[in-house]
């Protein structure tokens, strides 16, 4: 795919997101991951030109089951920006999204540069529970692997809970198997374990450096979903609780 075609598809995806009008999946003509990431880069360039600032990266397909389902052998990554940030406990307007869903995650805050092949544990300053809002710009969440990469891995928003220092009590200790509960309006909707994230979320952090690195100090890395995603309609209160790390919550605004 030449740069002109990449920019054209990026514009289509950008317009679909801004107007909340989905594109039909399977019709993009994308056939490989290299050209898909070129489209993603062009898409983010449009957003940066409007004033958004990069804040980190997110990973997709960190579940072995999801990789098998999609027929892939590696993870994918997207980019986070400041306009995607949702305050913990804050309200989030979903009226401009197409078909939002939410999933619980583990977030890392980097305290030093993490280069490909580097020690992820040594680069982490803190860890936190997180919620990620996803919203594919393809109709019905139906897309090919290159299409979801081009669409910035369906990223829409994220909320971060309290940071636990990596060097302090409970920081990175036993991070590989912590219980996770996703509640919707006070009722458990999904339960799982951080083991669903490549067996250990630190492995996802190492993969993020390999795929998108080097990663700078201050970057946030969403390591991947610990449970399946659930729909996120207006007027919904969502809370994710991760054992030892605490909780993070958001409430969606009412539709106009």
What pLDDT digit, counting tens, does each position of 19-76 carry?
999 999 877 788 889 999 999 999 999 999 999 999 999 999 887 666 665 556 679 9
Residues of the chain with pLDDT under 50: 255-256
Classify strands 187-193 and 179-184 as parallel, antiparallel or unpaired.
Answer: antiparallel
Q: What is the CA radius of gyration of the chain?
A: 17
DSSP states along 14-33: HHHHHHT-PBPTT-S---SH
Sign of the C-alpha dihedral computed for residues 141, 8, 56 and 205 taken in this order: positive
Alpha-carbon distance 176 to 190, whole Å? 18
Classify strands 54-60 and 76-81 as parallel, antiparallel or unpaired.
Answer: antiparallel
pLDDT at 148: 93
pLDDT at 142: 87
3-state secondary structure of 61: coil
pLDDT at 170: 61
pLDDT at 256: 43
pLDDT at 25: 82
Nearest alpha-carbon partner for 175 in 137, 234, 101, 120: 120
CB-based contacts of 128, cutoff 8 Å, min separation 6: 106, 107, 109, 160, 161, 162, 163, 164, 245, 246, 248
pLDDT at 255: 44
pLDDT at 214: 95
């Amino acid at each position: 795919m030449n740069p002109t075609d990449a920019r054209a598809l990026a514009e289509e995806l950008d317009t679909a997101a801004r107007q909340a009008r989905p594109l039909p999946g399977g019709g993009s003509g994308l056939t490989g991951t290299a050209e898909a990431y070129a489209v993603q880069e062009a898409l983010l360039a449009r957003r940066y030109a409007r004033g958004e600032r990069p804040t980190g990266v997110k990973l997709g397909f960190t579940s072995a089951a999801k990789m098998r389902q999609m027929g892939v052998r590696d993870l994918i990554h997207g980019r986070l920006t400041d306009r995607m940030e949702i305050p913990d406990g804050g309200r989030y307007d979903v009226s401009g999204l197409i078909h939002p869903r939410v999933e619980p995650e583990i977030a890392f805050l980097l305290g030093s540069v993490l280069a490909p092949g580097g020690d992820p544990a040594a680069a982490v300053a803190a860890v936190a529970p997180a919620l990620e809002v996803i919203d594919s710009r393809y109709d019905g969440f139906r897309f090919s692997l290159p299409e979801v990469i081009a669409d910035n891995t369906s990223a829409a928003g994220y909320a971060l809970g309290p940071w636990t220092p990596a060097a302090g009590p409970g920081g990175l200790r036993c991070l590989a198997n912590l219980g996770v509960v996703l509640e919707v309006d006070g009722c458990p909707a999904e339960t799982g374990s951080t083991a669903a994230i490549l067996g250990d979320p630190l492995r996802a952090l190492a993969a993020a450096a390999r795929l998108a690195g080097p990663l700078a100090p201050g970057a946030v890395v969403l390591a991947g979903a610990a449970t399946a995603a659930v729909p996120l309609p207006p007027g919904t209160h969502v809370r994710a609780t991760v054992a030892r790390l605490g909780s993070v919550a958001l409430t969606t605004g009412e539709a106009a």
